[in-house]
Structure 1
């Protein structure tokens, strides 16, 4: 029998061979049946690692024929493990308390900034495009130099100007300015320019006014020229007179006949009237007749070139842009006149030049309005409802139809001439072919017999008295 276990108590260490050995003690279960010797173990004093096994149910393990039941017999050999070494090797290590690390000393920031990170980043990106120092950028702003400032750059710059709280923080900063971030240093330089925001607004307005004039003025001049072109064209009324006569002839006896005139949009309907030849329209025929009797009318597309170019120009839009631009210039002129002398000297002349150019453009719009009324009377349209944009679009479409019909007529004539030449060529070739005794053309062949028709040869044999051999008839005949 194994020796009795040591009395319960706390685990202790005993030196064996100079090593400390953990000694564990059992904890008997109170009020329970005695544990068989092959299952009796010591209670570990430390938290142990687990063995991953599959435990058998007690009723299965205690069956008489099982291996585990044989271990509980009286004569079974008992093996005792070294619990102390197992506990030492397979226990969880004790957690050592971490030494409290001293908090690292807080580093002073290299740069000081009063701007939020997003605005600081955007301002730095904005400044990098100039590829020069902050002092050079602010010098250009103070001098009103717009060589590196276009309209879009100035619009972006206006959005990046310092706000009130940023100005107060920067002005209250009394330490070394070199400690400030790049964007903050630029703001300090900018704040040193008197009326810096007014200067930027003047730069933007002068540049924007120049760009707007360059875009709007050519369009306004083109619209005015298009109106004059329609009013002075001598081919357009002659062509319309020709259409009027043809229309009265086609509509003779109906309620649409005997007309004194027609709306100019009728020109677009000339291709809707088809002839008996499906591809030929009334416009094709009119141009064909004009080519014979009035060839000068075929140059009508030249008179409609400027109205076609003006199609698509929104007159109301460009006039509104010009009017808004003039109002901004006048308002800025008032602000500059009440500003410091340096700003007045820089921008008064530039603003005045832009205002004069805008007023000259306004005179062009007034001339267009007068020509519009004249054109409405000329075309017998309602002056209040007449749209120059629609009128020019009608002229452009008619011009395209006119040019296309001219091309169709030319192509058809070339095709007809080509067919006629081919017909004459075939007739000449037919006339040059050799003919037989009966006047019919002789076929070309290799041998002489092939040149004679079989039927002609048979008829010739009959005339000579050659008797033909009779062939037997079939039973069905």
Structure 2
């Protein structure tokens, strides 16, 4: 080493240590550590085991067979190679590896810490002849059918390599929708680009599963080959590649749906207007209301309700509440009877509108108004969006439709205003509050009332027929009193002329008074006893 520098006075570093001596090889294993070979197993016949020795000498055949059975040898038995167990458990003394995959024997292994004093610590292989080939035949697993090549999706992506990015529920919903189309996503994309017609239900199903902007960003942001994503993700990307696809779908839905909606609403409005005109112009109903008012004022003369100039429509059902002194007769029965007895049957002809009124009562005029307003806003919004588009393709596809739709919506609004004016006239005609008047409630009330008038008219006819029968029977009973040798049917009783007479009532009265006699019919020539 060089001498220390005089100016600094620092001594040089010490010399490196001497190298380590070469390590000696490990000592050979002690003789007593090598396990002795197992004794030969008596009674073992190698012919039944079909043993084929490969590397064993002729002098150690018995020893090799025993080692094979115990899992310590290297020879092959019917394709089986007996190998030591991989577990470091010396208590497991045998292990056989079949040539084919076998069925699993479901058991629970004993914990190694419990083996020393268990039966398994001294369990030796039985001195038996075992046919391993038969075990293979009985308990081998059947080979599975060769899997067919990976099926390609409609977009050419192998299903085995599909990468799903969307939520499972969203992906499932999109795939279910795609199954409704024979050609899958290709049919949808082509229809959107060319403006071809798609059934309305399928269009609504497509609109329900349209991808959101967040989902599109998530698919594009994912660091994966886009050709390997699932069919739902690929459809979302292909759909997003079409300009204004959401506007196209809305226009296609309106194109399929709007004509039917407008036609249905127009038909309902026309039916409402016709019925309103019929009620206003119906003279028989007007005469019937006048008859009710005339008789009602007679009943109410001198009371707070008398001298009325008219009544509201909700009074009509109450005509059944005022009962007469005669059984099963009400004020409405009497009014209808007056019309019938005065040969005024035509006055009840207005009841022919019963069924039509009931059907129209199911139409909610407010619901029609809401539906018209919603469609008007939708069409105007689509017309505004389409007018801002610079794409010639989408304008050419839907410009004619949207122009006609605007005209149809304006016509529908005018018809609604006309129907509203007719309904206001009906409210004024019947003396109702215009602001509170609801035409569907009016139709329901009149429909039920007209039906009740038909029932009352039939009840009056049946009662009149029964009264005629009772009068005839009473006259016959009066004649029986003057016939000699004829026993009176009702001793000491007279039938008032003004009361209803019924043969059943007379018989019951005779039985109650004890004046009822049985008459026996005798043969000719015999006397009555």
| TM bucket, shorter chain | 0.5 to 0.7
Is the 8 Å Cα contact of residues 354 and 448 (structure 2) preserved in structure 1?
no
Structure 2 match to 1:332: 382
Deviations 1:60-104, CA, capped at 9 Å, x for gaps: xxxxxxxxxxxxxxxxxxxxxxxxxx996279xxxxxxxxxxxxx
Residue 226 of structure 1 corresponds to which residue in structure 2? 275
**Compared CA separation, residues 166 and 257, structure 1 to 2 (3 A):** closer
Moved more, 174-183 or 220-229: 174-183
1:448 corresponds to 2:525: yes
Query: Conserved in 2, the CA contact under 8 Å of 1:268 and 1:398?
Result: yes
Q: 1:172 to 1:289 in 2, by over 3 A?
A: same
Residues 181 and 187 of structure 2 are in contact (CA less than 8 Å); yes or no, is this contact kept in structure 1? no
Q: Which position in structure 2 is the counterpart of 1:89?
A: 122
In structure 2, relative to structure 1, the CA distance for the partners of 1:140 and 1:407 (3 Å cut) is farther
Q: Give the number of equivalent residue pairs.
A: 359
Matches within 5 A, 1:78-477: 89=122, 109-150=160-201, 153-168=202-217, 179-293=228-342, 294-303=344-353, 306-339=356-389, 340-416=391-467, 440=486, 444-446=521-523, 448-451=525-528, 453=529
Shift of 1:443: 6.8
State the distance in 2 between where 1:87 and 1:275 align. 106
In structure 2, relative to structure 1, the CA distance for the partners of 1:16 and 1:193 (3 Å cut) is closer
Equivalent residues of 2:165, 2:233 under 8 A apart: yes
Alpha-carbon displacement from aligned partner over 1:272-305 (angstroms, at most 9, x marks no partner): 1111222111212211221222121121212565
Structure 1 residues not aligned, in runs of 5+ = 1-10, 20-45, 52-85, 92-106, 454-477
For the 8 Å contact 2:380–2:406, the answer to whether it is kept is yes
* Contact 2:353 2:447 (8 Å CA) reproduced: no
CA offset at residue 223 of structure 1?
2.0
Q: Against the structure 1 CA distance between its residues 390 and 16, is the aligned structure 2 distance closer, same or farther, given a 3 Å change threshold?
A: closer
What is the alpha-carbon distance in structure 1 between the residues aligned to residue 248 and residue 195 of structure 2? 7
Give, in angstroms, the shift of residue 445 of structure 1: 0.7
Cα drift, residue 419 of structure 1: 6.2
Deviation of 1:189 (Å)? 3.4
What residue number does 1:28 align with?
none
Corresponding residue number in structure 2 for 1:99: none
Q: State the TM-score, normalizing by the size of structure 2.
A: 0.59
Task: Determine which structure has greater relative contact order: mean sequence separation of CA pairs < 8 Å that are 6+ residues apart, divided by chain length.
Answer: 1
Q: Aligned partners of 1:302 and 1:335: how far apart in 2?
A: 50
Q: How far off is 1:239 after superposition?
A: 0.7
Q: Which residue of 1 aligns with 2:29?
A: none
Q: 1:89-142, CA deviations, whole angstroms, 9 ceiling, x for partnerless residues?
A: 279xxxxxxxxxxxxxxx995223443332222111111112224222221222
Deviation at 1:390, TM superposition (A): 2.5
Matched-pair contact (CA < 8 Å) for 1:377–1:383: yes
Partner Cα distance (2:452, 2:114) in 1: 100
Shift of 1:322: 0.5
In structure 2, stretches of 5+ residues that fail to align are 1-31, 41-112, 125-157, 488-518
Q: CA deviation at 1:18?
A: 5.7
Shift of 1:13: 10
1:300-338 deviation line (CA, Å, top 9, x unaligned) = 212565444322322112101101110110010110111
1:389-410 deviations in whole A, cap 9, x for unaligned? 3222221221121122122223
Structure 1 residues 108 and 315, CA gap change in structure 2 (3 angstroms): closer
**Do the aligned residues in 1 keep the contact of 2:115 with 2:121 (CA within 8 Å)?**
no
For 2:330 and 2:392, the matched residues in 1 are separated by: 73
For residues 194-237 of structure 1, the C-alpha deviation after alignment (integer angstroms, 9 at most, x for no partner) is: 32111011112333433432443322222222221221111121
Q: Residue 142 of structure 2 corresponds to which residue in structure 1?
A: none
Cα distance change on mapping 1:148 and 1:366 into 2, 3 Å: closer
Cα offset, 1:17, TM superposition: 9.4
Native 8 Å contact 1:271 1:282 kept in 2? yes
Cα contact 1:155–1:204 (8 A) shared by 2? yes
Secondary structure of the 1:270 match is: helix
| 8 Å contact kept, 2:288–2:348 | no
3-state SS of 2:262 partner: helix
Contact residue 297 and residue 308 of structure 2 kept, 8 A:
yes
2:354 touches 2:451 (CA, 8 Å); kept in 1? no
Relative distance call for 1:320 and 1:165 in structure 2 (3 A) is closer
The aligned residue for residue 510 of structure 2 is none
* Separation in structure 2 between the aligned mates of residue 195 and residue 323 of structure 1, nearest angstrom: 25
Distance in 1 (alpha carbons) for counterparts of 2:283 and 2:428: 17
